[in-house]
Structure 1
Amino acid sequence: MDNPKLLILSASTGNGHMSAAFAIAAEAERAGLEAVVVDVMDVTPDAFTSWYRGGYEKLVKDRPELWGHLYKSSDRPLFNYGFQTVLDFTFTSKIRKLIADMRPDWVVCTHSLPQPRLVPLRREFGFRMGIVVTDLYVHRMWLRGRPDAFFVPQEWTKEVLRRRKPRLGAHCVVTGIPIHPVFGERKFERSWGGEKWAVVSSGGIGGGPLTDAVKVMLESGWRVRVVAGRNQAAFDSLTTVFGGDDRVVVLGHIDAAKMAELMQTSHLLVSKPGGLTTFESLASGIPFCVYWPFLIPGQEEGNATFLRDIGAGVIAHNLDELRSALGKLDDKRLKAMSAAGLEQALPDAAAKIVQALREL
């Protein structure tokens, strides 16, 4: 199908899922295809939206261990998985009107929420269904609805999918995770000599002990660009503590172009390994220090292991380990980590997905 019409469904829980959707849409439009992005949270009842989005953000900020338990327990065909699937099906009924109005050839999901509802709609409207997995590990929620194609980050992900669902694994393309094209353009140069800058971020939600991490970075001789995301309270606190320190730049919510600039001109990223953040860092060639208190248990644990195993990252579980890791990151080690990341980078994932949708 040379010119398929694409409906891209996502959900605004965190930043990554929607960012992936918009990256695919932008690439589709560059290829001359019609592509529409819909945040499914905009067509679900207000109470469900508040519970789904607000509950997620509250749990990952205030009770990450509980979120980790729910994530892992719903990865098995037990009560939590079945209950969530029933809720997802029940409260996404308005998706039908979107499909009836647009009549897409492909419905592409960058979040698993709409998948159960798409099962009967496929029979009614005849579209094909593609799933863009935005973490290295394929959780059971991504397997719902008998998709026609999976687009996954790495060969390791493909092997996990084959083991879990052999039939589905046969319809799988390794593309990487779709990121904004600015991360692959490499407009900025990083100098390894002289003072060292780190980007410290705990994601768009801005949870986690940012202040303590910045203090350790400063004690270890680093200069810091700290990103508070949408967390105004964290931004205000960081400004109060570090506002007079010329070694620290405090930033709030920033766009992709600014984050790409920070990653490409800094020497270390201290952050949580969200799926998009992981692949943005690889494309930018910035060494990654996974700081465990920022991490969301469950989906991000596999991403952390991946970064460590390919040599592009280190893991620090607490402030003492962060301090120790920083002491070992000399220029030679940082350059090697940067090179290892660039070897695994797949900055053209969105283009690969669009091309595959045209060929399948």
Structure 2
Amino acid sequence: MSGILIFSSQYGEGHFQAGEALTETLRMNSASIEAKHLDFGSFFFIKDYVLRKAYSTMIKKTPKLWRVIFEKTSSITAEDCRKIAKGMEKKKVLDQIWRYEPEVIVSTHFIPAAIMGELKLKGLINVPLVTVVTDYLVHGLWIHSGTDKYIVGDKNVGKRLMDAGVATEKIMPTGIPIRPSFSQSVSKTAARQKLALKADGKTILVMGLNGKPVSSVEEIRDILYTLSAEISAQFLVVCGSNKELYSELKKNIVEDKLGVKLFGHVENVQELMAASDLLITKGGALTISEAIAMGLPMLMYKPIPGHEKGNALFIEAGGAGKMVETTDELIASVVEWVNHPEQLVQMSLAARRVLPANPTENAVNFILQQRKTQKAKGIHAEAIS
């Protein structure tokens, strides 16, 4: 392979989607560059499953405990957790690296970034390592001395890395990579027509609320019923891969009566966003980055403490949305904005100013600049101590 090897993760959809966005853009830009995208968890199925299960359980059942852990460990770097990384330095990972002989290795999650950093410090790989920080709040676990370059969402994230001791020349604020389709212009009228929606009136997109602290079918149902009684609008509700949520909402709401369209997993998020006037979500960095690219105002409801709340505060500071923690706040904000659409217009304009334009192209160009002729060393995995 003469090209780029990308490691991501399924700890939340955002890390994986960032890897997919980079892979797609690399393949579109040059036929001579091969891009390979791998989920690092597939190499450590049992350990990956346990870690993901523990994380999922904690944010669902004890989000306050997760907040405490996140805040108390925020200054801990990846190298302070070497035992975890050491346990994952498996022969299968090195075999993949040596098989593809990449010119650059990119990580969109801090665990593979830490593993790659450890392998490089041990001399087992010698190609440039690029870490893509896929949040607007930096936890120390993203930082490793073996990392050569960091791609970040904006200059403020870069400043936090510099405050933690990362050299300025290692940081590039390109914006978080998003799928290329989000750089294509789609008119609201065309999007609504394609989706068979009403051409006039407000359209509200609800997505990303399919996990704690917002996962109650009753809670989402009550929000939809209350809003439909308070305002004239149509609602697009995306349940993602949560088939149970989709099935229960299908049973519990009358879509035609409420002006609701239910969706499961979708590939046309860009069209749904283009058709909408407001997004109600939590605080996933990829979702809000996509919304920013579309100029779509956001209401971030009960973001997960830690990284998601940091993302939500970032959007608030940029004037592109608002964070709320209660159903009453959510209802009041939506009603206020729909009744005063000039506020939505101002937030839409602010959204387009928050981040750099063409983030994925920027990131890809920066990654390609790191290429070297020297390939990954073919050292046997037995060299791992």
Q: TM-score, normalization: structure 2? A: 0.84
Unaligned runs of 5+ in 2: 193-197, 371-385
- 1:13-42 Cα deviation digits (max 9, x unpaired): 111111100111111112221111010011
Q: How far off its partner does 1:267 sit?
A: 0.8
Task: Provide the C-alpha distance between the structure 1 equivalents of 2:221 and 2:355, rounded to a whole number of angstroms.
Answer: 30
SS of the residue corresponding to residue 65 of structure 1 reads helix
Match of 1:108 in 2: 106
Structure 1 partner of 2:250: 239
Report SS of the residue matched to 2:227. helix
Distance in 2 (alpha carbons) for counterparts of 1:87 and 1:307: 33
Shift of residue 345 of structure 1?
A: 4.3
Q: Which residue of 2 aligns with 1:208?
A: 215
1:95-244 maps to which residues of 2 (within 5 A)? 95-122=93-120, 123-167=123-167, 169-189=168-188, 194-202=200-208, 207-209=214-216, 210-221=220-231, 222-244=233-255
Instruction: Look up the match of 1:50.
Output: 49
Query: Does the Cα contact within 8 Å between 2:175 and 2:363 map onto a contact in 1?
Result: no
Asked if 1:298 is matched to 2:306, the reply is: yes
* Contact 1:179–1:276 (CA under 8 A) maintained in structure 2: yes
Aligned-pair distance for 1:85?
Answer: 4.3
- Please identify the structure whose Cα radius of gyration is greater: 2
Alignment of 1:57-76 (within 5 A): 57-76=56-75
Report the Cα offset of residue 180 of structure 1.
Answer: 0.7
Q: Is the 8 A contact 2:203 2:236 kept in 1?
A: yes
Give, as a single letter, the amino acid of the residue that structure 2 aligns with 1:152: V
The corresponding residue for 2:84 is 87
8 Å CA contact 2:227, 2:335 repeated in 1: no
SS state of the match for residue 286, structure 1?
A: coil
C-alpha contact 1:273 1:303 (8 A) present in aligned 2: yes
Rate the CA distance shift 1:287–1:193 in 2: closer, same or farther, 3 A: farther
In structure 1, how many angstroms separate the alpha carbons of the residues matched to 2:352 and 2:255?
36
| Structure 1: gaps (5+ residues) | none
**Could you say which residue in structure 1 is the equivalent of 2:261?**
249
The alignment's C-alpha RMSD in Å is 2.3
Deviation at 1:119, TM superposition (A): 3.0
Superposed displacement of residue 333, structure 1: 0.6
Query: The residue matched to 1:170 in structure 2 has which SS?
Result: helix
Alpha-carbon spacing, 1:82–1:170, altered in 2? closer, same or farther (3 Å): closer
**Which residue identity does 2:263 align to in structure 1?**
L
3-state SS of 1:6 partner: strand
Q: Which amino acid aligns with 2:284?
A: G
Q: 1:81-140: per-residue Cα shift (whole Å, max 9, x none)?
A: 778542233124231111121121211000011123223432223111001010111211
Q: 1:253 to 1:359 in 2, by over 3 A?
A: same
Q: After superposing the two structures, state which structure 1 stretch, 300-309 or 47-56, moved more.
A: 47-56
Query: Which shows bigger deviation, 9-18 or 116-125?
Result: 116-125
1-structure distance, mates of 2:253, 2:187: 27
What amino acid sits opposite 1:144 in the alignment?
H
Q: How many residues are treated as equivalent by the alignment?
A: 350
Q: Which residue of 1 aligns with 2:374?
A: none
With 177-186 and 238-247 compared, the bigger mean Cα shift is at 238-247
The answer on whether the counterparts of 2:301 and 2:323 sit within 8 Å (CA) in structure 1 is yes
Over 3 Å counting, the alpha-carbon distance change for 1:347 and 1:52 in structure 2 is farther
Question: Partner residue of 1:266?
Answer: 276
1:335 aligned residue: 345
Q: Report the counterpart of residue 9 of structure 1 in structure 2.
A: 7
Q: Which amino acid aligns with 1:119?
A: G
Change (3 A) 1:67 1:88: farther
**Paired residue for 2:380?**
none
Decide whether the 8 Å contact of 1:40 with 1:92 is kept in 2.
no
Q: Give the one of 265, 290, 306 matched to 1:280.
A: 290
Equivalent residue for 2:325, pick from 308, 317, 324: 317
Seen in structure 2, the aligned counterparts of structure 1 residues 343 and 95 have a Cα distance that, compared at 3 Å, is same
> Which AA in structure 1 matches 2:163?
R
CA deviations on 1:159-208 (whole Å, 9 max, x unpaired) are: 111111143x3311111111111112122325999421111122565853
CA distance in 1, matches of 2:255, 2:98: 57
SS at match of 1:341: helix
Separation in 1, partners of 2:266, 2:7 = 24
Aligned equivalents of 2:9 and 2:71: distance in 1? 20
Runs of 4+ in 1 over 6 A off after TM superposition: none
Q: What is the distance in 1 between the residues matched to 2:255 and 2:38?
A: 43
8 Å contact kept, 1:214–1:226: no
**Structure 1 pair 82–105 and aligned structure 2 pair: CA distance change class (3 A):** closer
2:20 paired residue among 5, 16, 22: 22
